[in-house]
Structure 1
Amino acid sequence: MNHNTPLPPASPRPLRHLAEAHRRVLTTAQLRAHGVSSAEMTEQCRTGGPWQQLLPGVFLLHPGPPTSEERLHAVLMYAARESAPGVPAQPGAEEPHRPVYAEAMITGLAALTLHGFTSAPPLLSLEKIDVLVPRLRRLRSAGCARVVRTQTLPTPQQVTGVPIAPVPRALADAVSELADAGAVRRLLTEAVRAGHCEPASVVRALNQAKLLSRPHVVDAVDSLLAEGRAIAEDRLYRMVRDHGLPDPVWNVDLRLPGGPHLGGLDAYWPEQAVAVELDTRAPRQDEDALWSEYARKREHLERLGITVVHITPKKLRDSMEQQAAVVRTALMASGDREPAAYVVVLPR
């Protein structure tokens, strides 16, 4: 061979090295970056071939059924916006085995399963996996990927490298596809009972999704609110006991002697004229009217010299010690105030 003899073409790298990589789900753009042509992709995905196409532009590099992790990443690869022409937003340059997905996250039942809901079905049993994307994305549902649109994407939470919608949003997207009243009730109840979120955030998400017109959802919400109030009341009892506050009278109504009803309270210290009211409002269509009622009651009581401490279930859950300090301060400050008007305390 002399210097005029043409060199033989370089031998292409065997395609099996791709299937041996950390992740065996790749997009068309990623395969092309590895030097795989469209013709080769088609050949690899022939009947009985070593690859298969899971979704448009997304390939599984082995012949067997995909794992639940592979399905999740395939759906995200299909839905995620590419960060640059020909370069998908997965995987990251600094962490080659940690995918980064732009403007896409898992939601619905799949997200609830990843959040640890025992009442959500196993991932492999789900025919469809919901993926949340911005409303203006030009993307259609395909295969196992069901596209869900939103005006504003929430901040995703990461579970084993998979971005998932927060529990309230995931619940709303799951409930929108469920007609089984029992399944809806179990999901909403577990959300509160297991401490995933507070009832108000769930109801707000359901309201924003326009689901509160469905009778079976309304029934489940009523059960949810009752569950949430019971949990909040139990936390309030524990706050008083565990933080050494004096015992109040529990669940009472106040009235002026021979006068009108002033409202119900969750806890009341008659000697100090200090009251605690749990704010368990559910943000529905009448939220403004309900808040006005709360505000009017509070203003009326305070004009009578009664200090009202509003506590939300979330604050009781996340900062019980701080809420106990607020109540203790109100009790200690009672001696510096003018005596409160005399009121009648009745059991509620």
Structure 2
Amino acid sequence: MDRGSWVVEQEELWAHSRFGVIRASTLEQLGVSQTTTYQQCQPGGRWLHLLPGIVLLARSQPTVRQRIEAALLHARHDALVTGFEAARLYGLRTPPDVGFIHLLLPHNYKVLSSGFAVVERTKSFPTPWMRDGVPLAPPERAVLDGVRRVRNRNTVRSILIEAAHKKLADPFELRRELDTGTKRGTALPRRVLNEIDFGVRSVAEADALQVWRGTGLPSPHCNVPLFSATGEFIGMPDFWCDEVAFAWEIDSYQYHSGRDEYANTLSRNARYMASGVVVLQTSPARLRDDPDAVVAEIRAGYRVASDRPRPPVQMRAAGVA
């Protein structure tokens, strides 16, 4: 076969593929012998072997979409993509690249995992959601299928907090999915959902909540709006002790170093001071690197707030740990 005829045939084969991914059996139906397919997947060939009986019609490393298509071809039987690849297709940015495509398959099928295609057979097979032509598990199922395989608490926190913040996955629905699905790997997501229910909006706030619980002080409120006696907005502290009007802010360099962010922080602190609120500022790094010192600072701030008359600051909403 000369170069010109090969290019024409390659284009025809690509038209029968999914983003360049195709079964070897389909190639044979199109007139490409098993021997030719084998040879083209060897070093120096034009194609790449992805999974048993599945070929990429190129020699480059497969894209995420090509890996998804190959995994779906491998599983067959109306399989769904779940886990972190599904979560990314729903728009989440925090899920890590775990190096595999997680698939759900009805329990009665006997397809096994192979290579980067991880097949999980389930009796609670969900109705698919379609995104960009890919059948996905529903958002709550996809997110939980991903995090229940993770043991890093902050990774689980960042994913579940982002999913809740973007309203992709409602915490109530996540809990219901945890209660009805497999119990394997659900203890950590349950603890993180408790933090989200309390009101934390970031991994740093979740770390801060753990530090606060070591102070022995009354449980704070989280992210509640404060107003003066005449109704002017004061601020929305990360943590708030209403009984003594003590605010604790977790101020990271990342989110407060820009000109506008820095000006907003100064303005916020000025409103706290004018209203008589005692405020403590802590960086996320110190929560990890020196939690004992932070505990001492929180206790000291609380004592200062307790030793002066409480100012007439009003809290409009509350959630107590």
| 2:238 paired residue number | none
Q: Give the residue type in structure 2 aligned to 1:173.
A: D
Q: Judging changes above 3 Å, is the alpha-carbon distance between structure 1 residues 212 and 221 closer, same or farther for their aligned structure 2 residues?
A: farther
Per-residue CA distance 1:49-108 (angstroms, 9 max, x = gap): 111110111100111101111111111111112xxxxxxxxxxxxxxxxxxxxx211100
| Partner amino acid, structure 2, of 1:139 | V
Whole-Å Cα distance in 1 between the matches of residues 87 and 52 of structure 2? Answer: 26
Cα distance change, pair 164–213 in 1 and its aligned pair in 2 (3 A): closer
Q: 2:64 aligns with which of 65, 68, 91?
A: 68
Q: Distance in 1 between matches of 2:30 and 2:184?
A: 50
In structure 1, C-alpha distance between the alignment counterparts of 2:26 and 2:185, rounded to whole Å: 45
Encode CA deviations 1:198-219: one digit per residue, 9 max, x unaligned: 2121012122334487543332
Q: Is the 8 A contact 1:176 1:211 kept in 2?
A: no
RMSD: 3.0
Larger-Rg structure: 1
Q: Distance in 1 between matches of 2:59 and 2:195?
A: 46
Q: Distance in 1 between matches of 2:141 and 2:128?
A: 10
User: What is the distance in 2 between the residues matched to 1:222 and 1:212?
Assistant: 18
Task: State TM-score, norm by structure 2.
Answer: 0.56
Relative to 1, partners in 2 of residues 1:143 and 1:120: Cα closer, same or farther, differing over 3 Å? same
Q: Residue 151 of structure 1 is aligned with which of 123, 127, 130?
A: 123
**Corresponding residue for residue 52 of structure 2:** 56
Q: C-alpha distance in 1, partners of 2:130/2:81?
A: 10
How far apart are the structure 1 equivalents of 2:197 and 2:162?
A: 12
User: Deviations 1:84-137 (Å, cap 9, x if unpaired)?
Assistant: xxxxxxxxxxxxxxxxxxx2111001100110012123xxx4411101111121
2:138 counterpart residue number: 166
Q: Aligned partner of 2:109: which letter?
A: R
Say which SS state the counterpart of residue 155 (structure 1) adopts: coil
| Correspondence for 2:85 | 110
Q: CA offset at residue 164 of structure 1? A: 1.0
Cα deviation, 1:10-31, whole Å, max 9, x if unaligned, reads x999642345436311012321
Measure how far apart 1:162 and its partner are.
Answer: 0.9
CA shift in 2, pair 1:19/1:67, >3 Å: farther
What amino acid maps onto 2:54 in structure 1? Answer: V
Question: What secondary structure, in the 3-state scheme, does the structure 2 residue paired with 1:42 have?
Answer: helix
CA contact (8 A) 1:18 1:24 kept: no
Aligned equivalent of 1:16: 10
Residue deviations 1:193-237 (CA, integer Å, cap 9, x gap): 111132121012122334487543332121132349x99x99xxx
C-alpha deviation, 1:184, in angstroms: 1.0
Paired residues in the alignment total: 201
CA contact (8 A) 2:175 2:190 kept: no
CA contact (8 A) 1:189 1:223 kept: no
1:208-223 aligned at under 5 Å gives the runs: 208-211=180-183, 215-223=187-195
Write the distance in 1 (CA, Å) between the matches of 2:185 and 2:67. 33
Superposition pairs for residues 198-217 of structure 1, below 5 Å?
A: 198-211=170-183, 215-217=187-189
User: What letter corresponds to residue 45 of structure 2 in structure 1?
Assistant: G
SS in 2 for 1:53: strand
Q: For the structure 1 residues 141 and 212, does the alpha-carbon distance in structure 2 shift closer, same or farther, using more than 3 Å as the test? A: closer
After TM superposition, where is structure 1 displaced by more than 6 Å over at least 4 residues in a row? 11-14
AA in 2 matched with 1:51: W
Q: Which of residues 74, 78, 96 is equivalent to 1:78? A: 74
2: CA distance between counterparts of 1:205 and 1:126? 22
**CA offsets 1:18-49 (integer angstroms, 9 cap, x no match):** 45436311012321221222112111111221
**Percent identity of the aligned residues?**
30
The structure with the largest helix share of the pair is: 2
Normalising by structure 1, we get a TM-score of 0.52
Which residue of structure 2 aligns with residue 263 of structure 1?
A: none
Where 1:139 maps in the other structure, the secondary structure is coil
Q: For 1:215 and 1:200, how far apart are their aligned partners in 2? A: 16
Q: For structure 2, list consecutive stretches of 5 or more residues without a partner in the other structure.
A: 201-220, 226-317
